[in-house]
Amino acid sequence: MTSLVSDPTLLPSPPDAAGTAPVPAPPSAAVTAPAGTPETAGRAASPRRRAWRGAAARITVSLSGVFLLALLVAALFPGLLTRQDPVAVTLGVPLSPPSAGHPLGTDEAGRDVFSRLVHGAGASLGIGFGATLIAVVGGALVGLIAGLGNRLVDGFFMRAVDCLVAVPDLLLAMIVITVSGAGVVTALVAVGVAGIPSVARIVRAQTHQVRVSPYIEAARILGLSRTTVALRHVLPNAFRPLIPAVALRIGGAIGAGAGLSFLGLGAQPPRPEWGAMISTGRNFLVNDPLLVLWPALAITLTVLATGTLGRALKRRLEGRDLA
């Protein structure tokens, strides 16, 4: 609900402590002897605790993976998971509790909740993946151009990006929707475009950093051509932080899409979509809170799952293990 797709943990990490000057630096520690502030060095948990944490981390990652896989199946082949028609109105049994035919009960119009949930996965995941794709492709391009270009080019593109940032994502989405009408596709485009600035910033910062890295210079000194160095060293390293960023962004995009649908600006009824289900279910909150609970849970778990996978990826790429 906060800025729809900006995730500040994706901000480029602060630059390392000032590089060593040509003045003598202290001899590098060869062994594990605690250096620097002794306070946190050596403060490791007991081996049992570490094993616990490692196992817990592995379990959460696996669970997330399984959950997302199930969602994918739901999105692509909903028929596998439910027979009920999500928009079929069963007369006479609105708001009924879970039963044999309706594992999660029915909603206010007598439709099967479970099947609406399953079919809604398609819309939500669609917005999530689609918007992320737009944000990543657009952002990477802009960020790369800005990062590789000279000051003018850089300045121009970053100002343009700043304009996008100045308008809160939700409001930007609203403009798009006012202009083109509500619907899943417009929501997708809106969320996607709103996500371009953060990606662009990350890529640009990373490109800048890589450009002046000593290993780029070392490669040039070896006699490699500019193109070879760019393709072999600059690009892969510049895009490295993007991979976990993509995973993390998907969750945010899904939440954003649900938010738009909640406001009535995304998926239109009777199309099942989690945000919209929450919106209608809200009216019956006192009578049948479960109506809101299931889609809310679905959204939350999805965002958590993608987030967990994204963070695990990030840790893996940064060289730390899961524990």
Of residues 107-166, those binding another protein (CB under 8 A): 159-160, 162-166
Q: What is the DSSP string of 91-159?
A: TT-TTPPP-SS-TT-B-TTS-BHHHHHHHHHHHHHHHHHHHHHHHHHHHHHHHHHHHHS-HHHHHHHHH
Q: How far lies 6's CA from each of 168, 184, 201, 206, in Å? A: 10, 20, 11, 17
- Say how far residue 143 (Cα) sits from the centre of its chain: 18
Of residues 102, 121, 122, 169, which one binds another protein by CB under 8 A? 169
Nearer to another protein, 91 or 166 (CB): 166
Of residues 90, 209, 237, 280, which one binds another protein by CB under 8 A? 237
Nearer to another protein, 85 or 162 (CB): 162
Q: Is 316 in the site for another protein (CB under 8 A)?
A: no
Nearer to another protein, 82 or 154 (CB): 154
Q: Is 285 in the site for another protein (CB under 8 A)?
A: yes
At 209, list the tokens.
């950093």
Q: Give me the least distance between CB of 241 and another protein, in Å please.
A: 12
Q: Which of 185, 291, 300 is nearest to 254 (CA)?
A: 300
Of residues 67, 138, 154, 240, which one binds another protein by CB under 8 A? 240
Of residues 136, 142, 177, 247, which one binds another protein by CB under 8 A? 177
- Interactions with another protein, residue window 195-234 (CB under 8 A): 213-215, 217-225, 233
The answer to whether 303 and 251 are in contact (CB under 8 A) is yes
Q: Is 186 in the site for another protein (CB under 8 A)?
A: no
Q: Is 270 in the site for another protein (CB under 8 A)?
A: no
Three-class SS state of 62? helix
Q: Give me the least distance between CB of 295 and another protein, in Å please.
A: 9
Cα 260 to Cα 262: distance, rounded to the nearest angstrom = 5
Q: Is 300 in the site for another protein (CB under 8 A)?
A: yes
- The angle subtended at Cα 146 by Cα 140 and Cα 151, nearest 5°, is 170
Which DSSP letter does residue 318 get?
A: T
Q: Give me the least distance between CB of 213 and another protein, in Å please.
A: 6
Q: Give me the least distance between CB of 75 and another protein, in Å please.
A: 18
Q: Is 7 in the site for another protein (CB under 8 A)?
A: yes
- Interactions with another protein, residue window 48-107 (CB under 8 A): 49-50, 53
Site for another protein (CB under 8 A): how many residues?
Answer: 104
Exposure of 299 in the CB half-sphere (CA atoms within 13 A) = 24
Computed over its alpha carbons, how large is the radius of gyration of the chain? 24
Q: Give me the least distance between CB of 121 and another protein, in Å please.
A: 16
